[in-house]
């Protein structure tokens, strides 16, 4: 059973603590960074590509909804907060590496600025989206099916 700090065993029998959360974080970071790189680079170099059309359709609220649903499902499945926080941090850092959330009016910023912004945005998204997901998972886990005898 999972401990309150999320470092115990999950119902799946796997450790659901720090090592798996770090794996989720790096995987989400790489996938998100590559995806947004493809979207942004292909939209400026090749014109409006399929990636760009999907990006425009989803925009920020579509990505946020997918992240909340995925993190809530991961929280319910693992009965811990470690993996979803790693997932949210990785997605936020990948977005931040591609300068998501910033309106650039001057020349392109340095790599050090990009990495710093990735750390800040990843932390903010982990705290906000991870907290919302944990709350939704907690509420969902307390619901009982209709018609259940008391």
Within a domain: residue 11? no
Distance between CA atoms of residues 148 and 137, nearest Å: 20
Instruction: Please state the φ and ψ torsions of residue 5, each to the nearest 5 degrees.
Output: -85, 0
Q: Is residue 142's pLDDT more than 60?
A: yes
Structural domain containing residue 132:
36-101+109-142
Yes or no: say if 93 and 122 are a contact pair by the CB < 8 Å rule: yes
Q: What is the mean pLDDT of residues 58-66?
A: 81
Residue-wise pLDDT tens digits, 18-42: 667 787 788 888 888 887 777 766 6
Q: Is residue 90's pLDDT more than 60?
A: yes
Report residue 122's pLDDT band, with 50, 70 and 90 as the boundaries: very high
Distance between CA atoms of residues 39 and 18, nearest Å: 31
Residues 6+ apart with CB under 8 A from 52: 39, 42, 43
Distance between CA atoms of residues 138 and 91, nearest Å: 22
What residues form DSSP beta bridges with 15? 9
Within a domain: residue 1? no
Q: What is the mean pLDDT of residues 89-94?
A: 89
- Give the residue from 111, 77, 92, 73 showing the smallest Cα distance to 28: 92
The owner of tokens 């990636």 is: 51
Within a domain: residue 83? yes
Within a domain: residue 76? yes
Within a domain: residue 71? yes
Yes or no: say if 39 and 108 are a contact pair by the CB < 8 Å rule: no
In the chain, the number of structural domains is 1
Residues 6+ apart with CB under 8 A from 93: 25, 29, 32, 33, 118, 119, 121, 122
Within a domain: residue 77? yes
> Residue 83, Cβ neighbours under 10 Å: how many?
25
Within a domain: residue 125? yes
Task: Choose between 41 and 115: higher pLDDT.
Answer: 115
- Give the residue from 116, 130, 141 showing the smallest Cα distance to 24: 130
């Amino acid at each position: 059973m999972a401990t309150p700090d999320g470092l115990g065993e999950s119902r799946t029998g796997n450790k659901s603590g720090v090592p798996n959360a770090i794996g989720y974080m790096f995987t989400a970071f790489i996938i998100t960074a590559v995806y947004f790189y493809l979207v942004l680079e292909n939209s400026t170099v090749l014109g409006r590509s399929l990636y760009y059309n999907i990006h425009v359709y989803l925009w920020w609220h579509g990505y946020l909804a997918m992240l909340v649903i995925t993190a809530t499902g991961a929280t319910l499945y693992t009965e811990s907060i470690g993996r979803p926080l790693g997932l949210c941090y990785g997605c936020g850092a990948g977005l931040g590496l591609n300068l998501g959330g910033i309106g650039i009016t001057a020349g392109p910023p340095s790599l050090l600025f990009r990495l710093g912004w990735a750390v800040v945005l990843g932390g903010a998204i982990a705290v906000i989206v991870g907290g919302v997901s944990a709350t939704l998972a907690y509420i969902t886990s307390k619901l009982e099916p209709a018609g259940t005898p008391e």
